Amino acid sequence: MAMLLEGPVDERRLGGAHATTHKAVWLYVNFMSRIEGGILSILLGFDLPLILRPCNAATYQVVGPVYAHSLMDAEALLGPLPPGWKLCYKVSQQHGYQMQRFLNKKTGAIIFEDL
């Protein structure tokens, strides 16, 4: 999944910059290098979307990670959740940190598997 970034990037705010893609995905970047013309990419195995900049026909430069509203919880790969479900986070006793879970708003059931 990749989206072309369009600019200009908004002025710096709160130590970062704001931008949007051609599909109106709102971004927040924590680095100031220009991202216009970069590619918002979802790569398997990475926790965050990345901005890549084409170098030539076969290579890309990693500009850096980005917060991409509506793409932070695997929506780009899995699509939206079905009606009646929402994403939540619960501390795993086994792992000792928060892990993504799915909450059924009607029954209160919390499951690990995606829907």
User: Can you tell me whether residue 76 is helix, strand or coil?
Assistant: helix
Q: Could you report the per-residue pLDDT of 29-88, keeping only the tens digit for each?
A: 555 455 667 777 888 877 788 888 888 888 888 887 877 767 777 777 778 888 999 888
Determine the pLDDT at residue 95: 77
Residues in the chain: 115
| Type and span of the H or E element at 60 | strand 60-65
pLDDT at residue 108 in the model: 94
Top mean pLDDT of 4-13, 24-33, 74-83 is at 74-83
> Position 65: which residue type?
P
Is the pLDDT score of 107 beyond 90?
yes
Please tell me the predicted confidence (pLDDT) of residue 35: 63
The pLDDT of residue 106: 96
Instruction: Give the residue carrying structure tokens 């991409």.
Output: 68
Residue carrying the six token digits 């499951």:
111
The pTM for the full model equals 0.56
Domain boundaries, the chain: 2-75, 81-111
| 60, β-bridge pairs | 54
Cα–Cα distance measured from residue 9 to residue 65, given in angstroms and rounded to the nearest whole number: 16
Q: Could you tell me the sign of the dihedral formed by the alpha carbons of 55, 50, 20, 31, in that order?
A: negative
Structure tokens at 81: 């959740």
Position with higher pLDDT, 3 vs 83? 83
Q: Identify the pLDDT of residue 26.
A: 52
Q: How far apart are CA 13 and CA 16, in angstroms?
A: 5
- The tokens for 93 are 């006793």
* pLDDT in the model for residue 83: 93
Strand, coil or helix: 72: coil
